[in-house]
Amino acid sequence: MGNLVVRTAISALVLSIAPAAVAQETGRYQMQKTETGVARLDTQTGEMTLCREQAGELVCRMGADERRAFEDELDRLSARVDALEKSAGSGPTALERRLPSNEEIDQTMSIMERMMRRFMAIVKDLNSDEVTPQGGSLPAPDKT
């Protein structure tokens, strides 16, 4: 907390003694023109980044504190990925978990066979209910 107060105070001091007196506020960041470029103040964290114009673009470089926070977060995420990969490697793979056993396949096929036999029996019963007239043609359907 004390470090944040010191950074905020230094940032405010730098911005107050900058040669250009116009500060541009855009939400979270405050920009102030300096002799060497632009100072960008994060009004929420107190972090200050110095930016320079290069080839018509504003290029900002990460400050030491921002860099350290970035590297800490990268290390934390890398450790988390390593832990997840280790836990995934200790058990069966996702593909092995999704494939059914031979017994499950046989059971499923038996159920499907019974279902198809019943379905075909229903179709056969429906076809036998239709009576074919002596002339050999089916009666014309009713028009609705």
Return d(Cα 121, Cα 64) in angstroms, integer. Answer: 79
Amino acid identity, residue 64? A
The strand order across the sheet containing 23-26 reads 23-26, 29-33, 38-42, 48-54, 57-60
Tell me the whole-structure pTM to 2 decimals.
0.30
Tens-digit pLDDT profile for residues 41-73: 878 877 778 888 888 888 887 767 677 888 889
pLDDT score, position 103: 95
CB 7 within 8 A of CB 47: yes
Q: What single DSSP character describes residue 143?
A: P
Q: Who contacts 58 (Cβ-Cβ below 8 Å, separation ≥6)?
A: 37, 38, 51, 52
What is the C-alpha separation between 40 and 123, in angstroms, rounded? 77
Strands 29-33 and 23-26: antiparallel
Amino acid identity at 44: Q
Residue-averaged pLDDT of the chain: 75
Half-sphere exposure of 97 (CA within 13 A, CB side): 6
- pLDDT-derived band at 79 (thresholds 50, 70, 90) equals very high
